Structure 1
Amino acid sequence: MTIKIIAVGKIKEKFYREALSEYGKRLSSYCKWEIIEVADEKTKEEASETEVLQVLEKEGERILSKIPDRAFVIALAILGKELDSIAFAKFLEKQALHGESEFCFVIGGSLGLAPSVLSRANYSLSFSAMTFPHQLMRVILLEQIYRAFRINAGEPYHK
């Protein structure tokens, strides 16, 4: 199985990079994985709705160019479906049993995801109704993917 996390923007803080590195090492025992970063667009503080859509579409084009044709795409979106860790693990397992072997998780920038990216997604997932910094969301997502593999392998995990 291959896991790709496509995310808008770069990780700047060392502590986020260290956390990603740690969970990445752990996850490497279960699958191949990578994080693909795409450039974010600068946005004016008081951008109009049209300007916001233009920014989203530019970021969306970059995201879509990184998604392999056969990938099962999971968009992280506030309006997506919320799952607990066990349900998330079972969801990934079910998709794998149905022949999915390449998963692309997509994390948007500060404005979210373009409609074109959401329409390409096979599934929309929400971790909470709360808003998280997109850099932190990468760490949370990688940890939950690692946890899902442990759950599916029948290995201990913290509840």
Structure 2
Amino acid sequence: MRVSICAVGRCRTGPEKALLDDYATRFDRTGRALGLGPLSITEVEDRKGGGMAGEAALLSRALPDKAHVIALDERGKLMTSPAFAELIARLRDDGTSDLAFVIGGADGIAPDLRARTDGALSFGKMVWPHMLARVMLTEQLYRAASILAGSPYHRA
């Protein structure tokens, strides 16, 4: 099952980019034997200033066809890491070929795009900068793959 992160904004060189690349590489390495990956990250920028609607249009075009789409949203479902791993395994085992996560910009995800997703995931009641949300998501993807592989990385 291919995994995509579609996000608003560019992650420039710096600590967030280094962490993002590290966890993405770890996920690809661990997930390959589990039928997970590769992980792709698509970044979009609304250069025309269309706001959330403009970002939603760009994000929609970036999503793989027929992907199972999960929005990152503070109103989404709170999950433990093992439950997140189980969700990913269930989607893979049910024959989902593409799993895509959507991370909006500073104003979040437009309601029409959020309504078209298959679910929403929250990293807590706090709002996180979208660059940190990307890092947290890639770490959780790696952690999920590690849990599914029986690796000692996750200690509950």
Cα pair 2:74 2:121 within 8 Å, conserved: yes
Cα pair 2:146 2:154 within 8 Å, conserved: no
For 1:84-128, what per-residue CA distance to the aligned partner results, in whole angstroms no more than 9, with x for missing partners? 100100011111111112111000001000112112211111111
Corresponding residue SS for 1:81: strand
* 1:27 matched residue in structure 2: 27
* 1:11 matched residue in structure 2: 11
Q: What letter corresponds to residue 149 of structure 2 in structure 1?
A: A
Q: Number of residue pairs matched? A: 149
Q: What letter corresponds to residue 14 of structure 1 in structure 2?
A: G
Q: Which runs of 5+ in 2 are unaligned?
A: 32-36
Match for residue 117 of structure 1 among 75, 94, 113: 113
How far off is 1:41 after superposition? Answer: 6.0
RMSD (Å), alpha carbons? 1.5
Q: What letter corresponds to residue 45 of structure 2 in structure 1?
A: A
Is the radius of gyration larger for structure 1 or structure 2? 1
Match for residue 131 of structure 1 among 127, 131, 151: 127
Cα pair 1:4 1:36 within 8 Å, conserved: yes
Cα pair 2:52 2:109 within 8 Å, conserved: yes
CA distance in 2, matches of 1:41, 1:76: 22
- Identity rate of aligned residues, in percent? 40
TM-score (norm 1): 0.88
How far off is 1:23 after superposition? Answer: 0.8
**1:91 is aligned to 2:77:** no
Q: Which runs of 5+ in 1 are unaligned?
A: 44-53
